[in-house]
A and B are shown apart, each in its own frame.
Chain A
Amino acid sequence: AQSVTQLGSHVSVSEGALVLLRCNYSSSVPPYLFWYVQYPNQGLQLLLKYTSAATLVKGINGFEAEFKKSETSFHLTKPSAHMSDAAEYFCAVSWGGGSQGNLIFGKGTKLSVKP
């Protein structure tokens, strides 16, 4: 069965440090890949998505992610963390549109940023 694994339920970084949130998927067919961010008491907001164009995808708020087919990974990075980046981050996959557009999510990684 297809699945998404996010390594590390909690990640803590210092302000200004590199942010690296890991995501691996399990599927024989490369999926479409998404990163969403969830702030407390708010809905999920799309950070970026991979749709089989460029493997390095740039998103909002300075985040980017690289699709690596050989590693079945789509890790999220940001060069310099800001206090406002503290939130929960979810990696998700889908295999198309319509009924194949249902998102399968990882369990999430809570990012803390220390001053």
Chain B
Amino acid sequence: GAGVSQTPSNKVTEKGKYVELRCDPISGHTALYWYRQSLGQGPEFLIYFQGTGAADDSGLPNDRFFAVRPEGSVSTLKIQRTERGDSAVYLCASSLMQGQAETQYFGPGTRLLVL
């Protein structure tokens, strides 16, 4: 079956611009997570959705970052007034959320470069 997909695969933008990153989770997965992976680091949690609502956004670094999941499926991560420090790979993961330690399935990521 289809896995988690993310678009675009690469995004180059200029400092100060607005970007949107899209995640299509596995069909039927109610839980959706966004992570950010900087060069040489492991992924870091950004935000978690259960259904349509953001159940935990404690990992968002500041108010320039925002994410939505209006119909409980596709999610969009939005970054305003991008900064060079936002350059990273943004990963999306989804899971069935049926219990503890549910396996998260990751997409290939969007590589964002802010010039």
Contact = CB atoms under 8 A, between A and B. Distances in A.
Given A43-B106, A101-B102, A92 B42 contact: yes
Main secondary structure of the interface of B (DSSP, over half): loop
A90 B103 contact: no
Interface of B: 3-4, 31, 33, 35, 40-45, 48, 50, 55-56, 59, 91, 93, 95, 97, 99-109
Given A92-B42, A98-B31, A44 B91 contact: yes
A97 interface: yes
Interface stretch (A14-22, A45-53, A62-70, A73-81): A45-53
A22 B102 CA distance: 23
B10 to A, nearest CB: 10
A4 B42 CA distance: 10
Interface residues of A, number: 28
Interface of A: 4, 9, 32, 34, 36, 41-46, 49, 51, 90, 92, 94, 96-99, 101-108
